[in-house]
Amino acid sequence: MGHNIFLESHSVNFAAREDQTILEAAQQHHVGLQKGCVAGVCRVCKLKLIAGDIEYRAGATVCLTEREVNEHYFLPCCAVARSDIICSTGSTYGAAAPQHPKEGVVVIFKERRGSVFVVRLKLSRYSRMEPMPGQYVEVEMGDKVCRSFSIANVPQRDGFIELHVRYRPDGVFSERLKEVIELNDVLWIKGPYGDFVLDESSNRHLLFIATGTGMAPIQAMLTSGRIRCDQAIHLYWGATCAQDLYFMEMIRDLQSRYERFYFTPVLSRATVDDHWPGATGYVQHCAKNRIGCLKNFDVYACGSPLMIQDAFREFTTLCHLPPVQFHSDAFYG
Ligand code: FES
């Protein structure tokens, strides 16, 4: 049985069967919705339900905050329609892609650090881009193909944005970075997007958890100057091997900037040859075991969907973390 979905913000209708999620139906009909983990964790896809009934698939993880639920947001990546529905993107931070015109940026810096490229893109003096720390941009690859990357700094007008791109031999953008893209080349970007941003009204302690280049949006938050000096900051950065901890000078800078800054690097695949004296295993387990109670923390987690799902489950069930205090941004790669 099928139902009609009217996406009011895009003025578009499409049909959704009861055996597919609303996000799957949107993709089938080429309706562009934001998507991230497709597992109910990152909240990137959230829509506001205006009329009609939805139901979540059995066993779905749904990481919406209490406020979002009260405001009738739902996650189309895990929800099926049980009637005709009307919904809207209606995001607080403008997750609807069409409202961002693309703009040209010039490559002014490119450096490979282990398996990661650090790239800086110069904004034009006419740029209206004012991202909040933690947001991301889309980089156009041609043929309407885009790749999303978190912004690792807080750009000023007529400044630059910094992206951290993991090199993968089959990665569309990273392969171009390695072989084709040179300094002074022009790229096209859109954004900023996303609501993985600091809750500046909170005075709770802060726990940041990143795997790999999930460090990028956290770096933007930590260097934004928007964290109060009386907040304790715990940063757990997970990598497979020591070379993947690619920005240690930034860590040293933070250690001198914040009095109560506690950094724990965690390697998941340290070998004997690494002579690694530090923590090993999964980054979320290490944070859970060392901190214990997270009742008075805001948690910001960025990395693989599996890490984020596991962190959300363990922190909220075993560490007394209220779900509303868990913020996440999941990505693949
Ligand atoms: S894509 Fe729906 S919650 Fe991540």
Structural domain spans, the chain: 2-88, 100-193, 205-330
Q: Which of 45, 36, 115 is nearest to 79 (CA)?
A: 45
Pocket test for ligand 1, best of 24, 43, 65, 69 (most atoms within 8 A of CB): 43
C-alpha 275 to ligand 1 mean position (Å)? 38
205-330 matches 2-88 in CATH topology: no
Pocket test for ligand 1, best of 21, 37, 326, 332 (most atoms within 8 A of CB): 37
Element (H, E) at 262: strand 261-267
10 Å CB burial of residue 158 (0-12, 13-18, 19+) is exposed
pLDDT tens-digit profile, the chain (333 residues): 789 999 988 788 999 999 999 998 988 887 878 776 778 877 778 999 999 999 999 888 888 877 888 899 999 999 999 999 999 986 443 344 445 678 999 999 999 998 899 999 999 988 888 899 999 998 987 766 778 899 999 988 779 999 999 998 888 888 888 889 999 999 999 889 888 899 889 999 999 999 999 999 999 999 999 998 889 999 999 998 888 888 888 899 999 989 999 999 999 988 888 789 999 999 999 999 999 999 999 999 999 878 888 898 899 999 999 888 888 887 765
Kindly give the pairing relationship between strand 2-7 and strand 73-74. unpaired
56-80 b/e (C-beta count within 10 Å ≥ 16 → b)? eeeeebbbbbeebeeeebbbbbbbb
Residue 125: the pLDDT is: 86
Residue 94: the pLDDT is: 38
Which of ligand 1's atoms lies nearest the C-alpha of 76? 2
- Distance from C-alpha of 137 to C-alpha of 149, rounded to nearest angstrom: 6
Q: Cα-Cα-Cα-Cα dihedral of 75, 21, 172, 303, to 10°?
A: 40
Residue 96: the pLDDT is: 41
Residue 99: the pLDDT is: 54
Q: Which amino acid is located at 49 in the chain? A: L
Residue 98: the pLDDT is: 46
Fold classified for 205-330: Rossmann fold (3.40.50)
Q: Cα-Cα-Cα-Cα dihedral of 179, 184, 188, 191, to 10°?
A: 110
Domain 100-193 has CATH 3.40.50.300: no
- Distance from C-alpha of 119 to C-alpha of 42, rounded to nearest angstrom: 25
- Distance from C-alpha of 155 to C-alpha of 129, rounded to nearest angstrom: 8
Which of ligand 1's atoms lies nearest the C-alpha of 42? 4
Residue 152: the pLDDT is: 97
Q: Within the chain, what is the greatest distance between any pair of CA atoms? A: 61
Residue 97: the pLDDT is: 44
Class of domain 2-88: alpha beta
Cβ proximity of 236 and 208 under 8 Å: yes
C-alpha 253 to ligand 1 mean position (Å)? 34
C-alpha 38 to ligand 1 mean position (Å)? 4
Residue 93: the pLDDT is: 38
Which of ligand 1's atoms lies nearest the C-alpha of 305? 4
C-alpha 333 to ligand 1 mean position (Å)? 16
Kindly give the pairing relationship between strand 85-88 and strand 261-267. unpaired
Q: Which of 238, 236, 230 is nearest to 296 (CA)?
A: 230
200-219 b/e (C-beta count within 10 Å ≥ 16 → b)? eeeeebbbbbbbbbbbbbbb
CB neighbours of 275 closer than 8 A, spacing ≥ 6?
none
C-alpha 188 to ligand 1 mean position (Å)? 25
User: Could you tell me the CA-to-CA distances from 275 to 96, 212, 237, 267, 282 in Å, in that order?
Assistant: 47, 20, 18, 11, 18
Site residues for ligand 1, CB cut-off 6 Å = 35-38, 40-45, 75, 77
For the chain, give the number of residues: 333
C-alpha 68 to ligand 1 mean position (Å)? 14
Helix (H, G, I), strand (E, B) or coil at 65: coil
Q: Cα-Cα-Cα-Cα dihedral of 107, 131, 219, 242, to 10°?
A: -50
Residue 80: the pLDDT is: 96
